[in-house]
A and B are shown apart, each in its own frame.
Chain A
């Protein structure tokens, strides 16, 4: 885990990092987009485009941590739906909006806590299956609360979250940058972050060296729940109303961004900055292809291909170099 500190600094190694590949890819996407549509490089357009894809990007931060821990959380989109539906329903019942927002965050935290507790208490169950079932349950509760109705007509100030500007910059972009810095510091500059890497590299060794693996896992899953609730706030504000089937399939987009950002699915490797670049990469790709009226389905195929290629390329490289590849069973820990 200390390889960055121990190795002598080399410019070649520095530029061969996956993050530079991403920046290159990002530039390529922008050049292609500019050539495809004359309207692409419009600063107002680009600025407002960030508002449409940044809401789900808040879930990317905790997902990076979860995947470094060798786990996965596919229930986040259902947490978004449940938090959003509870908030809207309470508001229509007469609860003040300020309190409803706080409850929305609390719902997210509780959903994350339940995931974390189940995963820690039942170690023989993989995170895939636990979050798969809570994904169905959370969405199911959202349906029980609102049935096929939608709820909305929030107070004026709530719309600021999704539509507001501060000094000409969208509020959501500012919030995203602040969160990115906070999570980046948390993962890379604190003992908490170092322990996440330690657990991802070797959970057993970490436990024996006194790292409270269970506690850290529960905290990270709770962070995922809270960030899902924050996504719910921005998304609900931007749409002005909510339904139980809101944010359907967001977990796939989030996982795609994290994996594309170079976070190893075998755990223990990856940087926050990679995932952040991937957020803008996919966001601008979507915006650019939308400008030239490319059907959404083509975009689905492109994202699917990117996702698979991004994971496959680093896997193929070490095999060609050296025969001594790590045992497969380690790679399959998450899915097992």
Chain B
């Protein structure tokens, strides 16, 4: 907040400004330690694996970032993901000759519709995001079980073309990574260089003044949840295609991992700030933890606790840094 006034920053401001650099440094440090403990960590194969696994997480994190910027939260994305993945899987199961791109579009459409409904409830119905998304989580999970009749769709019911969406590659780069990069670029442009994108930040950092300056608050909120829904729908198809199985409880609880990626990436949970570069790093950090903890023989039962602690520490550190920045701004005003 004090970055533009041309004065020399103090230490705490620099930490705030270069928190991405700090995060990158932490990732490198972590990688070195893990590599030292297990040399199979930094092989090309494992890195490729890790990035592919992180792609879906980071796609969801992009949408979640927009939601959190507007001071909201979306707990329904795991259920939306499962629903659209299940519908896409059932469709390709019934019509094996369907073009895989159509399957992707179908899943995204299901997600978009879910997002439109959710956005309407939050923006027009005035329901708190946490309550509305909890309720929709129940509803989408229930619908997923109902459309599937409680059955799984497993690998042999899916045509190879569908499984190829996630396993195939273009110019030697895995499709998942390509899709994720496309989404980063598109959303980087959207939130930094378009009017609507900037309005999302405005609504998040000060809803009242945004309203006074003529920004349609409800429309922005609605849009944000619609985007989140669409991205979850897309992620649902990619998820089902990657793991070649669609279940009623696919990705249950995954919303917490996505929120964790955002928080680690420096998205302020109180709204108004967040960067694409940050959430990419946040997702990568979580990807590394998921991949590397088993490699260095950390018991899988410790992983939940470690992940939770890291989120809490990240959130608290964020708050402390923010306090330091605010304090500095106040000190300067006095002189």
Interface residues of A (CB under 8 A from B): 72, 118, 122, 124-126, 128-130, 132-137, 139-141, 143-144, 147-148, 252, 255-256, 259, 265-266, 295, 297-301, 303-305, 307-308, 311-312, 315-316, 319, 327-329, 331-332, 334-336
Q: Which residues of A contact B121 (CB under 8 A)?
A: 308, 312
A86 to chain B, nearest CB (A): 14
Contacts A140-B307, A304-B137, A308-B121 known; A336 to B270 CB distance under 8 Å? yes
A281 to chain B, nearest CB (A): 16
Contacts A304-B142, A332-B72 known; A311 to B127 CB distance under 8 Å? yes
B135 at interface (Cβ–Cβ under 8 A)?
yes
As a 0/1 sequence over residues 138 to 170 of chain B, the CB contacts with chain A under 8 angstroms (1 = contact) are: 110111011000100000000000000000000
The residue from B135, B139, B270 contacting A124, defined by CB atoms under 8 A apart: B270
Residue contact B142 to A335, C-beta cutoff 8 Å: no
Least CB separation from B326: chain A residue: A124
Distance in angstroms between the alpha carbons of A312 and B126 in the assembled complex = 7
Q: Which residues of B contact A295 (CB under 8 A)?
A: 145-146, 150
Q: Which residues of A contact B173 (CB under 8 A)?
A: none
B19 at interface (Cβ–Cβ under 8 A)?
no
As a 0/1 sequence over residues 295 to 318 of chain B, the CB contacts with chain A under 8 angstroms (1 = contact) are: 000010111111111011001100
Q: Which 5 A-B pairs have the closest CB atoms?
A: A140-B305, A136-B308, A304-B138, A140-B304, A137-B308
Q: Which residues of A contact B3 (CB under 8 A)?
A: none
Interface residues of B (CB under 8 A from A): 71-73, 121, 125-132, 134-139, 141-143, 145-146, 150, 207-208, 211, 217, 248, 256, 259, 263, 269-271, 299, 301-309, 311-312, 315-316, 319, 322-323
Known: A132-B256, A133-B315, A301-B143. 19 other contacts (CB 8 A): A122-B315, A125-B269, A126-B269, A132-B311, A140-B302, A144-B305, A252-B138, A297-B142, A300-B139, A301-B142, A307-B135, A308-B131, A312-B126, A319-B126, A328-B217, A331-B128, A335-B129, A336-B71, A336-B269
Least CB separation from B204: chain A residue: A336
The residue from A125, A129, A265, A316 contacting B128, defined by CB atoms under 8 A apart: A265
The residue from B141, B208, B323 contacting A327, defined by CB atoms under 8 A apart: B208
Residue contact A140 to B306, C-beta cutoff 8 Å: yes
Distance in angstroms between the alpha carbons of A204 and B121 in the assembled complex = 30
Distance in angstroms between the alpha carbons of A18 and B194 in the assembled complex = 45
Residue contact B125 to A134, C-beta cutoff 8 Å: no
B251 to chain A, nearest CB (A): 15
Q: Which residues of A contact B146 (CB under 8 A)?
A: 295, 297-298, 301
Distance in angstroms between the alpha carbons of A135 and B316 in the assembled complex = 16
Contacts A133-B308, A329-B207 known; A335 to B130 CB distance under 8 Å? yes
Distance in angstroms between the alpha carbons of A60 and B121 in the assembled complex = 25
Least CB separation from B268: chain A residue: A124
Residue contact B256 to A144, C-beta cutoff 8 Å: no
Residue contact B145 to A308, C-beta cutoff 8 Å: no
Least CB separation from A140: chain B residue: B305
Residue contact B307 to A129, C-beta cutoff 8 Å: no
A116 to chain B, nearest CB (A): 15
Distance in angstroms between the alpha carbons of A312 and B270 in the assembled complex = 24
Residue contact A134 to B312, C-beta cutoff 8 Å: yes
Contacts A133-B308, A136-B304 known; A335 to B136 CB distance under 8 Å? no
